[in-house]
Amino acid sequence: MPATTTFLRTAAWVAVLNAAVWSAAPALAEKADRNLPLNAEADALRYDDARQTSVFTGNVVITKGTIIIRGNQVEVRQDPQGNQFGVVHGTPGFFRQKRDGVDEFIEGTGQRIDYDSKADTVKFTGNAVLKRFKGTQLNDETSGNVIVYNNTTDVFTVDGGVANRTAFNPTGRVRAMLTPVPKEGAPAPSPAPVPAPPATLKPTPQIEEGRQ
Protein backbone atom coordinates (compact mmCIF):
# COMPACT_ATOMS: atom_id res chain seq x y z
CA MET A 1 0.00 0.00 0.00
CA PRO A 2 1.48 3.44 -0.89
CA ALA A 3 2.70 5.44 2.07
CA THR A 4 0.50 8.42 1.11
CA THR A 5 -2.65 6.30 1.12
CA THR A 6 -1.71 4.80 4.48
CA PHE A 7 -1.13 8.21 6.01
CA LEU A 8 -4.44 9.60 4.71
CA ARG A 9 -6.34 6.64 6.14
CA THR A 10 -4.48 7.01 9.42
CA ALA A 11 -5.29 10.72 9.56
CA ALA A 12 -8.96 9.99 8.97
CA TRP A 13 -9.09 7.61 11.93
CA VAL A 14 -7.18 10.08 14.09
CA ALA A 15 -9.81 12.72 13.41
CA VAL A 16 -12.44 10.35 14.84
CA LEU A 17 -10.26 9.49 17.85
CA ASN A 18 -9.22 13.01 18.81
CA ALA A 19 -11.92 13.32 21.47
CA ALA A 20 -10.96 10.01 23.07
CA VAL A 21 -7.17 9.82 23.03
CA TRP A 22 -5.12 11.42 25.82
CA SER A 23 -7.61 14.17 26.53
CA ALA A 24 -6.73 14.30 30.25
CA ALA A 25 -3.60 16.39 30.78
CA PRO A 26 -1.25 15.86 33.73
CA ALA A 27 -1.50 18.39 36.58
CA LEU A 28 2.03 19.72 36.12
CA ALA A 29 2.16 19.13 32.40
CA GLU A 30 1.19 21.83 29.93
CA LYS A 31 -2.52 22.47 30.64
CA ALA A 32 -3.21 23.65 27.10
CA ASP A 33 -2.40 20.16 25.78
CA ARG A 34 -5.79 18.84 26.87
CA ASN A 35 -7.69 21.03 24.41
CA LEU A 36 -5.46 20.46 21.41
CA PRO A 37 -6.00 17.82 18.71
CA LEU A 38 -3.94 14.66 18.49
CA ASN A 39 -2.00 14.20 15.27
CA ALA A 40 -0.42 10.91 14.26
CA GLU A 41 1.68 9.55 11.44
CA ALA A 42 2.22 5.81 11.02
CA ASP A 43 2.56 3.15 8.37
CA ALA A 44 -0.60 1.40 9.56
CA LEU A 45 -3.45 1.67 12.07
CA ARG A 46 -5.78 -0.94 13.58
CA TYR A 47 -8.81 0.42 15.46
CA ASP A 48 -11.03 -1.78 17.66
CA ASP A 49 -14.22 0.07 18.60
CA ALA A 50 -15.46 -2.64 21.00
CA ARG A 51 -12.23 -2.51 23.03
CA GLN A 52 -11.71 1.22 22.46
CA THR A 53 -8.14 0.62 21.34
CA SER A 54 -6.04 1.98 18.50
CA VAL A 55 -2.73 0.40 17.50
CA PHE A 56 -0.39 2.48 15.35
CA THR A 57 2.60 0.67 13.82
CA GLY A 58 5.62 1.64 11.76
CA ASN A 59 7.64 4.81 12.49
CA VAL A 60 4.89 6.22 14.69
CA VAL A 61 4.99 9.93 15.51
CA ILE A 62 2.28 11.36 17.75
CA THR A 63 1.93 15.00 18.77
CA LYS A 64 -0.65 16.59 21.04
CA GLY A 65 0.24 20.13 22.01
CA THR A 66 3.66 19.94 23.66
CA ILE A 67 3.53 16.14 23.88
CA ILE A 68 5.72 14.29 21.40
CA ILE A 69 5.74 10.48 21.25
CA ARG A 70 7.78 8.30 18.89
CA GLY A 71 8.06 4.54 18.63
CA ASN A 72 7.80 1.48 16.44
CA GLN A 73 4.33 0.76 17.83
CA VAL A 74 1.94 2.79 19.97
CA GLU A 75 -1.24 1.33 21.48
CA VAL A 76 -3.87 3.67 22.89
CA ARG A 77 -6.76 2.45 25.07
CA GLN A 78 -9.61 4.19 26.89
CA ASP A 79 -11.56 2.70 29.81
CA PRO A 80 -15.31 3.24 30.49
CA GLN A 81 -14.49 6.08 32.90
CA GLY A 82 -12.66 7.97 30.15
CA ASN A 83 -9.13 7.35 31.41
CA GLN A 84 -6.52 6.94 28.69
CA PHE A 85 -3.60 4.52 28.63
CA GLY A 86 -0.77 4.44 26.10
CA VAL A 87 1.92 1.82 25.52
CA VAL A 88 4.91 2.70 23.35
CA HIS A 89 7.35 0.11 22.00
CA GLY A 90 10.56 1.27 20.37
CA THR A 91 14.30 0.94 20.00
CA PRO A 92 13.94 2.97 22.10
CA GLY A 93 10.58 4.72 22.46
CA PHE A 94 10.51 8.47 23.11
CA PHE A 95 8.28 10.75 25.23
CA ARG A 96 8.55 14.52 25.72
CA GLN A 97 6.25 17.10 27.34
CA LYS A 98 6.51 20.67 28.58
CA ARG A 99 5.87 21.38 32.25
CA ASP A 100 3.16 23.91 32.99
CA GLY A 101 4.10 27.52 33.75
CA VAL A 102 7.87 27.12 33.35
CA ASP A 103 10.28 26.82 30.46
CA GLU A 104 11.08 23.19 31.34
CA PHE A 105 10.64 19.91 29.50
CA ILE A 106 10.57 16.31 30.65
CA GLU A 107 12.08 13.93 28.11
CA GLY A 108 12.53 10.18 28.43
CA THR A 109 13.39 7.06 26.47
CA GLY A 110 12.95 3.34 27.07
CA GLN A 111 12.34 0.08 25.28
CA ARG A 112 8.77 0.37 26.58
CA ILE A 113 6.87 3.44 27.77
CA ASP A 114 3.57 3.26 29.68
CA TYR A 115 1.48 6.42 29.89
CA ASP A 116 -1.33 6.32 32.49
CA SER A 117 -3.63 9.34 32.63
CA LYS A 118 -5.56 7.91 35.61
CA ALA A 119 -2.48 7.58 37.83
CA ASP A 120 -0.91 10.57 36.04
CA THR A 121 2.38 8.74 35.53
CA VAL A 122 4.84 7.85 32.79
CA LYS A 123 6.85 4.64 33.18
CA PHE A 124 10.03 3.97 31.17
CA THR A 125 11.30 0.36 31.11
CA GLY A 126 14.48 -1.11 29.64
CA ASN A 127 17.60 1.08 29.32
CA ALA A 128 15.47 3.92 30.66
CA VAL A 129 16.72 7.51 30.65
CA LEU A 130 14.87 10.52 32.04
CA LYS A 131 16.04 14.09 31.37
CA ARG A 132 14.82 17.50 32.51
CA PHE A 133 15.63 20.52 30.37
CA LYS A 134 15.48 24.17 31.32
CA GLY A 135 14.90 25.72 27.94
CA THR A 136 17.45 23.97 25.76
CA GLN A 137 19.92 23.30 28.58
CA LEU A 138 20.07 19.83 30.12
CA ASN A 139 19.55 20.22 33.86
CA ASP A 140 19.06 16.68 35.24
CA GLU A 141 19.61 13.20 33.81
CA THR A 142 18.90 9.82 35.39
CA SER A 143 19.30 6.30 34.00
CA GLY A 144 18.20 2.88 35.22
CA ASN A 145 16.19 -0.16 34.25
CA VAL A 146 12.79 1.24 35.31
CA ILE A 147 11.93 4.92 35.84
CA VAL A 148 8.47 6.04 36.98
CA TYR A 149 7.70 9.75 36.80
CA ASN A 150 4.63 11.14 38.62
CA ASN A 151 3.36 14.30 36.97
CA THR A 152 1.14 15.28 39.91
CA THR A 153 3.80 15.14 42.65
CA ASP A 154 6.83 15.78 40.39
CA VAL A 155 8.47 12.74 42.02
CA PHE A 156 10.29 9.99 40.14
CA THR A 157 11.74 6.64 41.20
CA VAL A 158 14.55 4.72 39.52
CA ASP A 159 15.36 1.00 39.77
CA GLY A 160 18.64 -0.56 38.66
CA GLY A 161 19.80 -4.14 39.12
CA VAL A 162 20.89 -6.98 36.87
CA ALA A 163 18.65 -5.90 34.00
CA ASN A 164 20.44 -2.53 33.94
CA ARG A 165 23.94 -3.96 33.42
CA THR A 166 25.79 -2.86 30.30
CA ALA A 167 29.39 -2.72 29.13
CA PHE A 168 29.55 0.85 30.42
CA ASN A 169 27.73 0.02 33.68
CA PRO A 170 28.66 -3.58 34.64
CA THR A 171 27.19 -3.23 38.15
CA GLY A 172 23.77 -2.12 36.92
CA ARG A 173 23.61 0.65 39.52
CA VAL A 174 21.41 3.70 39.05
CA ARG A 175 23.21 6.77 37.74
CA ALA A 176 22.12 10.39 38.06
CA MET A 177 23.31 13.92 37.29
CA LEU A 178 21.33 16.52 39.29
CA THR A 179 22.01 20.24 38.95
CA PRO A 180 21.54 22.31 42.14
CA VAL A 181 18.69 24.83 42.04
CA PRO A 182 20.20 28.34 42.34
CA LYS A 183 18.90 30.70 45.03
CA GLU A 184 16.35 33.25 43.94
CA GLY A 185 18.13 36.14 42.23
CA ALA A 186 21.42 34.28 41.99
CA PRO A 187 22.88 33.68 38.52
CA ALA A 188 22.85 30.15 37.17
CA PRO A 189 26.13 28.28 37.61
CA SER A 190 28.47 28.75 34.69
CA PRO A 191 29.83 25.70 32.89
CA ALA A 192 33.42 24.78 33.67
CA PRO A 193 35.85 26.61 31.37
CA VAL A 194 37.42 24.62 28.60
CA PRO A 195 41.20 24.34 29.19
CA ALA A 196 43.31 26.14 26.61
CA PRO A 197 45.36 23.96 24.26
CA PRO A 198 49.06 23.71 25.09
CA ALA A 199 51.28 26.33 23.49
CA THR A 200 53.22 25.26 20.43
CA LEU A 201 56.94 24.97 21.18
CA LYS A 202 59.31 26.79 18.84
CA PRO A 203 63.08 26.17 18.55
CA THR A 204 65.29 28.92 19.92
CA PRO A 205 67.79 30.64 17.58
CA GLN A 206 70.73 29.40 19.68
CA ILE A 207 69.75 25.74 19.22
CA GLU A 208 69.21 26.21 15.52
CA GLU A 209 72.62 27.93 15.12
CA GLY A 210 74.39 25.12 17.03
CA ARG A 211 73.00 22.56 14.61
CA GLN A 212 74.55 24.28 11.62
Compute CA distances 181 → 77, 103, 132, 143, 188, whole Å: 38, 14, 13, 20, 8
Q: What is the pLDDT of residues 152-198, one digit of tens each?
A: 788 888 887 666 666 666 766 777 777 776 566 655 555 445 455 55
pTM of the predicted model, to two decimals? 0.67
Return d(Cα 201, Cα 31) in angstroms, integer. 60
**Region class of 36: left (phi > 0), else alpha (psi between -120 and 50), else beta:** beta
Chain-wide mean pLDDT for the chain? 74
Reported CATH class of domain 3-178: mainly beta
* 140 CB-near residues (< 8 Å, 6+ apart): 130, 131, 132, 176, 177, 178, 179
Q: What is the pLDDT of residues 38-73, one digit of tens each?
A: 788 999 999 999 888 999 999 999 888 888 999 999
Q: What is the pLDDT of residue 146?
A: 92
**pLDDT band, very low/low/confident/very high, at 11 (cuts 50, 70, 90):** very low
Among residues 98, 82, 89, 96, the alpha carbon closest in space to that of 22 is found at 82
Q: Is the pLDDT of residue 211 over 80?
A: no
Residue 70 is predicted with a pLDDT of 95
